[in-house]
Amino acid sequence: MPEKTVQYALMHARKALETFSPEDALRSTKTALAFLDAEWEGDRAVEGELRAQQAAAHRMAGTTGRAIEQYDAAAAIFERQGHVPQAIELKLAAAETAWQARRSDETKRRVEAGIESSRSAGQDESLRKFLHLAATVANMGGDYARGAAYLEEAERLAEADVAAPAEEIPNGGRLIVAMINPVAATDPA
């Protein structure tokens, strides 16, 4: 029974966030977290997912301090479980939230730590996002040389990703569209 409650609460929190209802998402995640006590036999990464949803709800509601705390808690859980890519994404979200809250010193500290963890984990996409945020913070702080260096490194990473050929889109086919009103002409000219 607790597994289903947690599963449905997580699904409800996601749907609530999609419909811009942070209060409903917070209520759902609090209910689910009540079931995740010491007797929980399921995957502990579920707690990380719940805390990440809770952090997103706090961010949407404008309580950035609580959002950062929950992002940190979720990242720590994912790191303990060995899910490093998810932990890095949550650290990025915490840095972006700190920047949104105009906490430039905290953002700078979080971005520098995130750059190092992204490099060590080989997460190029997250590293590129951290570098862009770092360049913004550096430029806003008047350190234009450091900002340019961050942007240059981000561009190098982007060029390395572009080198892979994109999947080709097939030509032709048939498009079927439902129309409310009848269409008299079938020729586009």
User: 18 or 41: whose pLDDT is higher?
Assistant: 18
- Please give the pLDDT value at position 175: 76
- Average pLDDT estimate for 30-58: 87
- Please give the pLDDT value at position 84: 94
Element housing 71 (H / E): helix 64-81
- pLDDT beyond 90 at 68: yes
- Average pLDDT estimate for 173-186: 80
Nearest CA to 138 out of 120, 127, 151, 125 is that of 151
- Average pLDDT estimate for 23-37: 90
CA–CA separation, 50 vs 13, rounded Å?
A: 8
CA–CA separation, 57 vs 124, rounded Å?
A: 27
- pLDDT beyond 70 at 165: no
CA–CA separation, 94 vs 154, rounded Å?
A: 20
- Please give the pLDDT value at position 62: 93
Q: Is the pTM of this model over 0.85?
A: no
Is 4 exposed, middle or buried, given 0-12, 13-18 or 19+ CB atoms closer than 10 A? exposed
- pLDDT beyond 90 at 24: yes
DSSP per residue, 121-159: HT-HHHHHHHHHHHHHHHHHTT-HHHHHHHHHHHHHHHH
Is 133 exposed, middle or buried, given 0-12, 13-18 or 19+ CB atoms closer than 10 A? buried
Confidence at 64, pLDDT banded by 50, 70, 90? very high
- pLDDT beyond 80 at 145: yes
Is 62 exposed, middle or buried, given 0-12, 13-18 or 19+ CB atoms closer than 10 A? exposed
- Average pLDDT estimate for 3-31: 92
Q: What is the pLDDT of residues 102-133, one digit of tens each?
A: 999 999 999 999 999 999 998 889 999 999 99
Residue 62 DSSP one-character state? T
